[in-house]
Chain A
């Protein structure tokens, strides 16, 4: 078992969560509630933008 890093809340599992949100938004489209779809869509866009901002303002530790 590798070393388990302490939670870094700013980006905690956000990638995986966002893909889950996208899947949920697609699922919501099969129902009649338009506002549920739009709400989930904008929450997902906000989460993606937030993660991008976190990466864009973080110091880079690149290995290339």
Chain B
């Protein structure tokens, strides 16, 4: 029972991170706000964070997950979350002084980089709790495969979509500007 719980916890972690990243896309495309370089770095860290539980789900599809694999999965998440938290703190500190309105529109009263710090802190706590109960939560072979196929497919799609979006923002240039205000590729190709 708890082994199946460990599988569903890992799957939920990947799904939750996909939801957060999809929220970033809503802000980017529906609200028309451009992600800055630090925003893209935080997205990368979130994806790296989700790779840990994704690793466990894929291992569980092949057979029992060993304690070593379980530790590797959530260890990857903690390493990525620490990096992401550092990037978020850097961006919060850039906007913390005086009357600086911050970058982008706040969501539920907080800017996206503040939400990102909360997400990374949550990922660290979740990984820690999973590691504490590793013996009970290490997933065994799973038979129901379609939910994992669906979630991991969505995760791969989110990564690929970000790859395309980053390419659009960078255009035919070698670096992303500090504060992007257009999709440079469209300008470079003369479509805008």
Contact = CB atoms under 8 A, between A and B. Distances in A.
A45 B83 contact: yes
Interface string B72-84: 1000100110010
B58 to A, nearest CB: 5
B179 A55 contact: no
B152 to A, nearest CB: 8
Residue among B55, B80, B156 having the largest count of chain A Cβ atoms under 10 Å: B55
B54 A29 contact: yes
A6 B3 CA distance: 54
B138 interface: no
Interface stretch (B42-50, B118-126, B127-135, B139-147): B42-50
Contacts, number: 119
Q: How large is the interface on B (under 10, 10 to 19, 20 to 34, 35 or more residues)?
A: 35 or more
Interface in B21-56: 37-38, 40-41, 44-45, 47-48, 51, 54-55
B51 A41 contact: yes
B176 interface: yes
B64 interface: no
Given A2-B188, A38-B76, A52-B38, 20 more contacts: A2-B171, A4-B188, A6-B174, A9-B174, A13-B170, A15-B40, A18-B44, A19-B163, A22-B47, A22-B51, A22-B159, A41-B48, A48-B41, A48-B44, A48-B48, A55-B37, A58-B178, A63-B178, A63-B181, A64-B179
Interface of A: 1-2, 4-16, 18-20, 22-23, 25-26, 29-30, 32, 34, 37-38, 41, 44-45, 48-49, 51-52, 55-56, 58, 60-64
11 contacts: A2-B184, A4-B172, A5-B175, A9-B174, A18-B44, A22-B47, A34-B72, A48-B44, A51-B37, A62-B179, A63-B179
